Amino acid sequence: MADDPVTHRPGDGALLLTCEHASARLPSGWHWGASDTRLHGTHWTYDPGALELTHELAEALRCAAVASAFTRLLADPNRDADDPGVFRTHAEGLPVELNARLTPEDRRRRLEGYWHRYHDAVDREAARSAAPVLFSVHTFTPVYEGSVRPMEVGVLFDREDALAEELATELRAEGFVVAMNEPYSGKEGLIYSAERHARAHGKRALEIELRQDLAVRPEARARVVSALGRFARRL
């Protein structure tokens, strides 16, 4: 049996929180290659500050939360199992040794042991939860492959344009520079996990992206929690 791929916090608030890139941990039985040491502890392995923000939101808003307990480089829960990006092969133009020369058996073990078990945990919680919104928590790097990202918070959505604007209004009230569907777009399939489970369980899907230089600061996360508290009270 693979070791537990999720952490779970119970709750009955208006948001069901998920955090797909919560951990940089490579589970036992898997090993980093020597050339992958450059990736350790970086945004390529996880979203810095995302788990802390998820826990703070869960505590303040009494929300249930499901978070990954394995690095996104093992298998990315925010990508479809058939998406080539579920096993990232390059980072900053260089190969990811962990994902070089994957065999069909390697892929099966990773998907069955981690990717599917993560999504099964979200499915179970979504089936139990009365929360109307499935809310995915992510963070993004200020500079990505040489491109500077000036926004401080991204609100990502596919079907929920009006709901996303309500959230953006609350975040702007906290002084954040907010961009809609940036630095990634939910309308291009890049809120895969939130949208998948929301559709399956009759919920609404949103994803937040907080810039990582802010996400690692407790005072910045507290402003997000404040904004989300006002937002959730209206749901």
User: What would the DSSP string read from start to end of 61-123?
Assistant: HT-EEEEE-S-TTT--TTS-TTSGGGS--EETTEE-GGGTT--HHHHHHHIIIIIHHHHHHHH
Q: Which amino acid is at 149?
A: R
pLDDT at residue 144 in the model: 86
Cβ pair 25, 70 in contact under 8 A: yes
Predicted confidence band of residue 147 (pLDDT cuts 50, 70, 90): confident
Q: pLDDT for 96-131, tens place per residue?
A: 999 999 999 999 999 999 999 999 999 999 999 999
How far is 105 from 98, CA to CA, in rounded Å? 14
* Helix runs in the chain, H state only: 50-61, 104-110, 116-128, 161-173, 192-200, 212-215, 218-233
- 108 backbone dihedrals φ, ψ, rounded to 5°: -60, -45
Domain that holds residue 118: 6-233
- Pair of tokens at residue 159: 């079907």
- Please indicate, yes or no, if residue 112 is contained in any of the structural domains: yes
- CATH classification of the domain holding 227: 3.40.630.40
Q: Which amino acid is at 79?
A: R
- Please indicate, yes or no, if residue 213 is contained in any of the structural domains: yes
The answer to whether residue 1 scores a pLDDT higher than 90 is no
pLDDT at residue 140 in the model: 98
Number of structural domains the chain divides into: 1
pLDDT at residue 66 in the model: 98
Q: Average pLDDT, whole number, for the chain?
A: 96
- Please indicate, yes or no, if residue 149 is contained in any of the structural domains: yes
Among candidate residues 209, 229, 227, 230, the one with its CA nearest the CA of residue 50:
209
**By three-state DSSP, how is residue 137 classified?**
strand
Among candidate residues 153, 127, 2, 158, the one with its CA nearest the CA of residue 70:
2
Q: Which amino acid is at 218?
A: P
Residues 6+ apart with CB under 8 A from 28: 3
Q: pLDDT for 50-105, tens place per residue?
A: 999 999 999 999 999 999 999 999 999 999 999 999 999 999 889 999 999 999 99
Predicted confidence band of residue 234 (pLDDT cuts 50, 70, 90): very high
- Please indicate, yes or no, if residue 109 is contained in any of the structural domains: yes
- Please indicate, yes or no, if residue 54 is contained in any of the structural domains: yes
- Please indicate, yes or no, if residue 152 is contained in any of the structural domains: yes
- Please indicate, yes or no, if residue 1 is contained in any of the structural domains: no
- Please indicate, yes or no, if residue 97 is contained in any of the structural domains: yes
